Structure 1
Amino acid sequence: MRAIEIVRPGGPEVLEWREVPDPRPEQGQVVIEVAAAGVNRADVLQRKGFYDPPPGAPPYPGLEVSGVVAEVGAGVPGFAPGDEVCALLAGGGYAERVAVPWEQVMPVPEGVPLVDAAALPEVACTVWSNVFMLARLRKGETLLVHGGASGIGTFAVQLAKALGSQVVTTAGSEAKLRRLRELGADETINYREQDFSDLVRADVILDIIGGPYLAGNLKALNPGGRLAIIALQGGAKAEIDLGVLLTKRASVHGTTLRARPVEEKGVIVRSVADNVWPLVGAGAVRPVVHARVPMSDAAEAHRMLDSGEHIGKILLVR
């Protein structure tokens, strides 16, 4: 088969479409003939040499795919060749085929085109596991989403609204803020012009910035609030005022998804299929796709992501 290999750490130009060995399904795995793969910030970090795949994962980038089951290994329940699926991966999505534990595979939600389903696994599992399973956002509470125009942000806005929460989100341009209001955001904040911590009080905050936003996030939390930090785009270090944390009876959670054991990912994937997919099938939540780029031109997709001008997901399409 062919896959995108990172020939050396560097810019988008180091991504090359090459012949590589075909995957074979091991015990408990399925092989998916890939229709499309989602492009994520983690792929950029891997390309730059900062985020190696966990042990046993394919060396090629790509944390989510959609496609058709091609082969099924021993001990796989519920899947058969020909099934249309999408999957959460530890790596290897930028390829014509990928082997993945069956626990991380989901049916394509009703009404979603097969290609566009590649925009769902990573964002759905990240948002559901952090905002709802961990931070326990409840109906009527307020969610603040930083980086609302990202794939994760556009999904979080829709899902929280569909489940009855108030949603505030930040973005850096009027075009992005307008699109987020169309997706259901109750309030939008231009972080280039306004300080979110002066404008909003939230019960749950989903943060991708990290260090520079920590003080502002704590200020913006309501008593009993929960902060979920899922990325460190602004930096990893900050001082924390423990007095604020104690006074507000707040909690701070830091999580990643890629390196979790298969069993943990399986719990999240099954919960997403049970709780989120019906909302997607009903049209209350939909994948937001900015661009579909040929997989062989992954470098162009990474340039789009690096520019920061996209809204939603960028997909690599076979």
Structure 2
Amino acid sequence: MTTIKDRGRGRAAVPRAARTALALALLASGALVLGTGGPGDGAAGAVPAAARQDRPAQAGQAPQAAQAEPCDLFRSVPASTEDGPAVKAIKARRSLVVGIDLNSYRWGSRNPNTGQLEGFDIDLAKAIGTAIMGDPDKVVLKSVPTAERIRFIQEGRVDIIVRTMSITCDRMEQIAFSRPYFKTSQRVVVPKSNPARTLDEALNGARVCAAAGSSSLGDLKGRPVKEVVTPENNLDCLVLMQLGKVDATMTDDVLAASQAAQDQTVRVVNDEVRPGVMGVAMLRTSTDLTARVNQVLNDYYTSGTWRRQYDQWLKPYLGDDADRHWPTAQSTLSAQ
């Protein structure tokens, strides 16, 4: 039986005290509850309804303070099955290195019982890699910190990144993106003891956590927060909240819901800003690789695989509305 290779098994280095606190906090909260079984194991792997992400109070209204990106987030090269110079060089090397996350429940994490990497983005990364290389044994999964995603691409440490990465105009000037594969927005996570009803109430005078290098940092600019804390990964923000070091976390709605699923003592505030999309990232010069990834994404969706993976990994806490999360240019622009 063939398996996808895995590199970068551990998380980015942190101080010993922080590692100890992280381990204790995750044990206390029940984070990484994948030990009860995978999502295909029925009720044992399901996330309680109470952990699901709250919906905005007025679904038909534009999100509060939403700011549209001033560029076309769907701009990418046409899909193709042809191998150009970049793909041929990767095949000659006999390995495609994919940057992934190991810290986001149901997106990219390690099952503590089996040791296997699993999640929506993990399955997508494997599908892209196998389609391009023709052999799952030639796909290498490498853990990449949130703050280092762009640098890893630019320095050639990974070929592509499949890691809940929002497409932004600023990032499009530095790296290339595939066509979007998931719709998202920015949400705030707070302890359940926090009575905040809106995003502004949750952030006003608060110590707010947002992962370094994340698009969430831009949404905190100009807001009356007391302090912004920027660890390397989103999971660190959940731990800092558990330890009382921060009052709130700003992150993508899908990761916000993931944190609420991990820890029943936190909730997602019923408000959102900046609708956006996520994509697969790679070098701007690797246009043929981008075209191949776009073809895989098209096939992944039209074959029904995207929907099946949504139901398997995300439906328990994002609800039975997968169509709302598949991005189309018309729906995304109207949301903005």
TM-score, structure 2 normalization: 0.29
Richer in strand (by share): 1
TM-score, structure 1 normalization: 0.30
Asked which structure has the greater RCO (Cα within 8 Å, sep 6+), the reply is: 2
